[in-house]
Amino acid sequence: MMSTEQILTVKDLKKYFKTTRGIVKAVDDVSFSVIKNETFGLVGESGSGKSTVGHVIMGIYGPTAGSITFMGKDISKSVGKRPKELKKRLQIVFQDPASSLNPRRTIAQILELPFKVHHLAPDGNYAEKAFEMMDLIELPREFAARYPGEQGGGEKQAVAIGRALATGPSFIVLDEPTSALDVSIQAKIINMLMRFQKEFDLSYLFITHNLSLMRNVAQRVGIMYLGKIVELAGTPEFFSNPLHPYTKMLLSAIPVITPEEEALKPEKIMSTGEIAGALNIPLGCSFHPRCPFAMDTCSKVVPSIIEYKRGHHVACHLYPSAGNSQ
């Protein structure tokens, strides 16, 4: 039975960027938690703010407002000055291993570095630590002297995962870790991540645009649209009873093979417009220009996210008590 202990809590998180054209509200009042040993999926289209959430958690950006609590401690104000112990416990795997790995370092040097930085080889034998990590991520030891550019996409991402595991983390942000890979390699990387989660008691924030993937790897799923979470639920409930029109639109667009799978999809919803830019977010519910069920209030009042039923949250005026935020 899964623990109910929260390892990460994000509350009212905002991240705004000032540009020459105005303020970009990349993340706007986002709240969620991740339970110990859980995979929490954060899903959305490009520009939804999902990767920015992960980067703020990692301290790459400082939050504009809100709080981030990790293992009982507020880490919101620790950007740029995080202690080594926190950096050990909190790691990230980026989307594109070709850009996240130093092309001038060999595979062995990349994997040795976290052991050296955190003094994780008491005998000073960092090379052996790198070899042990290569065994774990199923890379032949003869690859140690190669450079990232000499590796395939899956091999590079395995190195990135090994680098994240080297410090013995408790929590890993997975920022679209398979989207840059061939389909044939994606399953291998996902299986590797799931195996490591069980083996090392890891918790994951899995950021992706792939809803089909979430059905198989996540225990809970949150849907983001233009900087806000519009729906959050346990995975079985989420896929069997989606509430928000945007969620239904995404689910109805998932390609399937069999008539049985087609029957499980919600009724197809056609959006009526283009996704707005982050510099020009519509008033009221940001989805209302694309929503076929939009009412007059949708263009005026921002819907608060409510717990419509146990464990299932939604921000939509179609559901009672949702519209009480100006």
- Cβ atoms of 231 and 50 within 8 Å: the answer is no
Which residues is 307 bridged to in the sheet?
Answer: 313
* pLDDT of amino acid 269: 67
- Plot region of 29 (φ>0 → left; ψ -120 to 50 → alpha; else → beta): left
Q: Which residue is associated with the tokens 């790995």?
A: 101
- Cβ atoms of 190 and 277 within 8 Å: the answer is no
Per-run averaged pLDDT (10 residues), the chain, 326 residues: 83 96 94 97 94 96 96 88 91 93 96 95 90 96 95 95 97 94 90 97 96 93 97 95 93 68 62 75 93 93 94 94 47
Say which CATH class 6-240 falls into. Answer: alpha beta
- Helix (H) or strand (E) holding 52, with range, is helix 50-57
State how far the Cα of 186 lies from the Cα of 191, in Å rounded to an integer.
Answer: 9
* pLDDT of amino acid 48: 93
3-state secondary structure of 135: helix
* pLDDT of amino acid 181: 86
State how far the Cα of 128 lies from the Cα of 76, in Å rounded to an integer.
Answer: 36
Whether pTM > 0.85 for this model: the answer is yes
Stretch(es) of the chain classified as CATH 3.40.50.300: 6-240
- Cβ atoms of 318 and 297 within 8 Å: the answer is no
* pLDDT of amino acid 258: 58
* pLDDT of amino acid 107: 97
Q: Give the pairing type, strands 312-314 and 306-309.
A: antiparallel
Residue 91 phi/psi, 5-degree rounding, is -130, 170
